[in-house]
């Protein structure tokens, strides 16, 4: 017991002082970054104190510009995010980053690389970086990631960036959660395949063709532009060329992020709407699956379809009716 506590004491002396939730919350609301880190740990561990604090914070969020960065592994997401942090800091904005690892459930801590890359910001009190595992929820963002976003929002960060490897569901979750979704593409990966991957064109508010110092970047940006279906919306998805390591195109890219924020701000979906929707859908999906699996209706209907007694549509209607009753 004692040992466990010691292991958890990653924030030093501060952690050994036992604060109750309202003291912790007071410090947090005064802008204490250690209190922020501690609250996130509580939220991540799903502790009672975490839940207690979250219930007080839910109503206060909604001011930060939440930006999602997604794209294939190694596209330069973390490097680009670092360059973006530098640019936003130059402009006086405060910024928090959550690096989500959606890949494997057993690789907690695998994002050490990202942490190391972003070490240059550890002394800046206006930058906060946290790595989180997506932990279980198939490919998507975990509940504690949503909660962490809320915590960071209430703390008052102007910008919150979520970095996630493009892995299907995580991308979709990002769109539902972020105000601005940036999709990274890089030359040399077999262009069309990476872009055409399930619905990626639809989710991007902004494309960043990173590694623009490499051969084929310009061609790739033209290809993407041509693939973008122009719609009636006032926002036409821009394709930015960036070279994160050479710091080129970053100013323009950050201007584009701000342009989208100006465009979307008025109709910003408060995080909770999306999260409530996601969680309710998950809950219902799970309970519906349980009902279907535990009943014989699926099996019976399949038999009836096979024997020609009912059609597929009849079966669908029958099952839906049963679920609603
Ligand atoms: N040539 C070139 N290399 C870059 C650029 N941006 C990043 N890289 C390199 O690409 C490699 C991967 O960069 P990361 O920032 O770790 O990429 P990532 O997308 O965050 O990777 P994961 O988080 O592992 O998916 C590193 O070696 C970077 O130095 C760029 O603009 N040009
Ligand atoms: Mg990364």
pLDDT higher than threshold 80 for residue 162: yes
Could you tell me where the DSSP H helices lie in 18-110? 21-29, 33-44, 48-57, 77-90
Query: What is the CA(77)–ligand 2 centre distance, in A?
Result: 5
pLDDT, position 189: 76
pLDDT higher than threshold 60 for residue 221: yes
> How much of the chain exceeds pLDDT 70, in percent?
74
Task: Report the C-alpha gap between 257 and 83 in whole angstroms.
Answer: 13
pLDDT, position 261: 94
Residue 165, ligand 1, Cβ within 6 A: yes
Ligand 1: which of 79, 118, 171 to mutate, most ligand atoms within 8 Å of CB?
79
> From atom 17 of ligand 1, which residue's Cα is the shortest distance away?
76
pLDDT, position 119: 65
pLDDT, position 80: 95
- Residue spans of the domains in the chain: they are 1-60, 61-269, 275-324
pLDDT higher than threshold 60 for residue 173: yes
The mean-pLDDT minimum among 2-6, 19-23, 89-93 falls in: 2-6
Query: What is the CA(96)–ligand 2 centre distance, in A?
Result: 15
Return the ligand 1 atom nearest residue 244 CA.
31
The DSSP output letter for 32 is -
Residue 78, ligand 1, Cβ within 6 A: yes
- Best CA proximity match to 244, nearest among 132, 119, 117, 112: 117
Mean pLDDT to the nearest integer, 40-67: 89
Query: What is the CA(74)–ligand 2 centre distance, in A?
Result: 7
Ligand 1: which of 107, 134, 245 to mutate, most ligand atoms within 8 Å of CB?
245
**HEC profile of 135-174:** CCCCCCCCHHHHHHHHHHHHHCCCEEEEEEECCCHHHHHH
pLDDT confidence bin for 6, thresholds 50/70/90: very low
Query: What is the CA(285)–ligand 2 centre distance, in A?
Result: 31
Mean pLDDT to the nearest integer, 215-235: 84
CA dihedral 72, 75, 81, 87 (to 10 degrees): -140
Residue 213, ligand 1, Cβ within 6 A: yes
pLDDT, position 197: 60
pLDDT, position 270: 57
pLDDT, position 107: 34
pLDDT, position 290: 78
Q: How far is CA 103 from CA 138, 141, 159, 197, in A?
A: 10, 11, 25, 17
pLDDT higher than threshold 70 for residue 159: yes
- Order the strands of the 159-165 sheet from edge to edge: 127-133, 95-101, 159-165, 65-71, 180-185, 206-209, 239-241
pLDDT confidence bin for 255, thresholds 50/70/90: very high
**Highest mean pLDDT (candidates 1-15, 130-144, 178-192, 241-255):** 241-255
pLDDT, position 104: 39
pLDDT, position 13: 47
Top pLDDT among 41 and 276 is at: 41
pLDDT, position 4: 33
Q: What is the pLDDT of residues 261-318, one digit of tens each?
A: 999 887 766 555 666 776 677 677 777 877 777 788 888 888 999 999 999 889 889 8
pLDDT higher than threshold 60 for residue 191: no
Mean pLDDT to the nearest integer, 115-126: 70
Ligand 1: which of 115, 132, 167, 244 to mutate, most ligand atoms within 8 Å of CB?
244
pLDDT higher than threshold 60 for residue 236: yes
> How much of the chain exceeds pLDDT 90, in percent?
36
> From atom 25 of ligand 1, which residue's Cα is the shortest distance away?
73
Query: What is the CA(70)–ligand 2 centre distance, in A?
Result: 10
pLDDT, position 167: 56
pLDDT, position 207: 94
Show the tokens assigned to 315.
């079966």
Contact 118, 96 (CB under 8 A): no
Mean pLDDT to the nearest integer, 137-152: 73
In this structure, which CATH number among 2.170.130.10, 3.40.50.10440, 3.40.50.720, 3.40.50.300 belongs to the domain 61-269?
Answer: 3.40.50.300
Q: What is the pLDDT of residues 60-88, one digit of tens each?
A: 888 899 999 988 888 899 899 999 999 99
Mean pLDDT of the chain: 80
Residue 189, ligand 1, Cβ within 6 A: no
């Amino acid at each position: 017991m004692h040992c466990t506590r010691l292991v958890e004491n990653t924030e030093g002396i501060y952690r050994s002082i036992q604060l109750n939730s309202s003291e912790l919350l007071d410090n947090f609301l005064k802008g204490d970054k250690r209190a922020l880190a501690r609250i996130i740990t509580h939220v991540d561990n799903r502790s009672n104190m975490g839940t207690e604090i979250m219930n007080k914070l839910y109503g206060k969020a909604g001011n930060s510009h939440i930006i999602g960065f997604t794209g294939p592994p190694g596209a330069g997401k973390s490097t680009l995010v670092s360059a973006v942090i530098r640019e936003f800091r130059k402009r006086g904005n405060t910024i928090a980053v959550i690096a989500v690892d959606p890949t494997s459930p057993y690789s907690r801590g695998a994002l050490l690389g990202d942490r190391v890359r972003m070490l240059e910001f550890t002394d800046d009190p206006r930058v906060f970086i946290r790595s989180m595992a997506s932990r279980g929820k198939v490919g998507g963002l975990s509940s504690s990631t949503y909660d962490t976003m809320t915590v960071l929002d209430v703390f008052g960060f102007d910008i919150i960036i979520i970095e996630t490897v493009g892995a299907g569901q995580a991308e979709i979750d990002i769109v539902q959660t972020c105000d601005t979704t940036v999709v990274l593409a890089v030359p040399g990966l077999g262009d069309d395949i990476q872009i055409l991957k399930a619905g990626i064109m639809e989710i991007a508010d902004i494309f960043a063709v990173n590694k623009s110092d490499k051969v084929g970047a310009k061609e790739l940006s033209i290809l993407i532009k041509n693939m973008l279906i122009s719609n009636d919306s006032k926002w036409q998805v821009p394709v930015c060329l960036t070279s994160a390591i050479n710091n080129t195109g970053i100013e323009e890219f950050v201007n584009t992020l701000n342009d989208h924020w100006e465009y979307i701000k008025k109709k910003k979906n408060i995080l909770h709407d999306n999260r409530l929707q996601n969680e309710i859908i998950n809950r219902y999906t799970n309970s519906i699956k349980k009902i279907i699996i535990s009943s014989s209706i699926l099996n019976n209907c399949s038999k009836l379809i096979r024997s020609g007694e009912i059609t597929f549509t009849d079966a669908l209607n029958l099952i839906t009716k049963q679920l609603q009753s």
